[in-house]
A and B are shown apart, each in its own frame.
Chain A
Amino acid sequence: MSEAAAPDPFIPSPYRVGKVRRETRDITTLEVAPIDGQRPDYQPGQFNMLYVFGIGEVAISVSGDPAASGHYVHTVRDVGAVSGAIAKLPAGATLGLRGPYGTAWPVELAEGGDVLFVAGGLGLAPLRPAIYHVLGRRENYGRVALLYGTRSPPDILFRQEVERWRRRLDVEVLVTVDRADTDWRGDVGVVPRLIGRAGFDPHNAVAMVCGPEVMMRYTADALRAAGMAPDRIWLSMERNMKCAIGLCGHCQFGPDFICKDGPVMRYDRIATILTIREI
């Protein structure tokens, strides 16, 4: 009797695009559901490889609610050929998908203490599944704060949802932008500056940080200055991922591969590597 051949990890499964929502001028959110079979479960922070036939494949974090079944939600920024093609896919289009891959946000480890989400720009998308998870089990956590920084008021991602979270009495939401005109009533400045204003116990909190790497470095510095230990800070790293299963080495980050050992990584493990320019 011959053994069944293992499925080829490089062959994507066909998925169909459902709802499409334009979030900002260059960011789009798509729901994608498997054409055959069940959507595999995923953990907050994981990503899929999305393949646009004839154009290419790209790693995109899942941005939906892990508790919602049937489809994945991906939020894509049009920055290149593949992401631009994904952002332009209409409802009903077909694409290939491999995944989910990678490490998850420490939502269970954070139980019993305060939780600080710090997002910059599109970085709110990979954090959103963790936010859903925490808010869905709100009684398991202490104080919860979301600090969000972006370029300008029209660039605020998931704006209606952020406003809804802000109205809740059990979540502190602080939003800042880099620049604004005088109609803006919120804060102007960089997101690390919000850390001093958020209510949390640095000795009993977990920070989950996602955004451009420069922003994450400054945020980690600000969290350390606020008294948070480096093993309580988690970052979602980004590198050019190709195989997504730790084989090709495109996303090597020091001794790790971001696709396999990340994208979510503990700060104390990567702090020194973050300062090496060649990596």
Chain B
Amino acid sequence: MEGLERIVLAHRFFAGLEQELGPVVSGCARNHRFNPGEYLAREGDAANEFFLIRHGKVALEIHAPGQQPIMFSTEGEGDIVGTSWLVPPYRWRFDARAVELTRAIGIDARCLRDKCEADPRLGYEMMKRIVPIIVDRLDETRLQILDVYGKRGQ
């Protein structure tokens, strides 16, 4: 097994992936290092890549005119950043900024999408891994919107 493939398969997102799919997925992967303050992605940019965080912390932010950016989530070791690559028009919906030195694996989205189209087994495997993350984030967002720590009616 090549070094990059080993790193990719060691990430929580790919835990338990069938061995024969390892080279297929890691063929779309590359290593990244982001310094604090550096952006992994900006809102509106093409979602050509998503990231498996190996180490560090990434803030997900929304900009509003005349205000400081609002940080709505942070992602760390074992998390993934980016799901827009799955859904047309494949554009980032938020900024992703490294808060501290961050090491990540970037997965070329077009490369992986093409491989998923060609092999529905891989596509289904990816969906089984992505959908629980989306559902968890929906639950978390629901809790945040509920503002459970605020006063009623505040």
List A residues at the B interface (Cβ < 8 Å).
26, 79, 120-122, 149-151, 155, 176, 178-190, 192-193, 196-197, 211-212, 214-215, 218
Contact = CB atoms under 8 A, between A and B. Distances in A.
Contact of B143 (A155, A180, A215): A215
A180 B71 contact: yes
Contact of B99 (A185, A189, A197, A215): A185
B61 A211 contact: no
A181 B67 CA distance: 9
B40 interface: no
A26 B152 CA distance: 13
B35 interface: no
B144 A179 contact: yes
Contacts, number: 71
B101 to A, nearest CB: 13
Given A182-B61, A182-B68, A182-B69, A212 B148 contact: yes
A78 to B, nearest CB: 9
Greatest chain B CB density within 10 A among A120, A151, A190 is at: A190
20 contacts: A79-B152, A150-B149, A178-B144, A180-B70, A180-B71, A181-B68, A182-B71, A184-B71, A185-B99, A187-B57, A188-B72, A189-B144, A190-B140, A192-B140, A193-B140, A211-B148, A212-B148, A215-B148, A215-B149, A218-B143
Interface string B34-63: 000000000000000000000001011100
A193 B72 CA distance: 14
Contacts of B139: 218
Given A179-B70, A185-B99, A151 B59 contact: no
B151 interface: yes
Given A151-B149, A182-B68, A214 B74 contact: no
A23 to B, nearest CB: 13
Given A214-B143, A218-B139, A188 B73 contact: yes
A120 B149 contact: yes
Nearest to A181: B68
A218 to B, nearest CB: 6
A214 B69 CA distance: 28
Greatest chain A CB density within 10 A among B59, B61, B139, B149 is at: B149
B73 to A, nearest CB: 5
B38 to A, nearest CB: 14
A214 B148 contact: yes
Contacts of A184: 71
Greatest chain A CB density within 10 A among B57, B68, B147, B150 is at: B150
A144 B139 CA distance: 27
A54 B151 CA distance: 25
A185 B59 CA distance: 9
Given A155-B149, A179-B71, A182-B71, 4 more contacts: A79-B151, A120-B148, A182-B61, A182-B69
Contact of B72 (A26, A151, A179, A212): A179
A271 to B, nearest CB: 18
B42 to A, nearest CB: 14
Nearest to A176: B74
Greatest chain B CB density within 10 A among A150, A155, A180 is at: A180
Interface in B67-105: 68-74, 76, 78, 97, 99
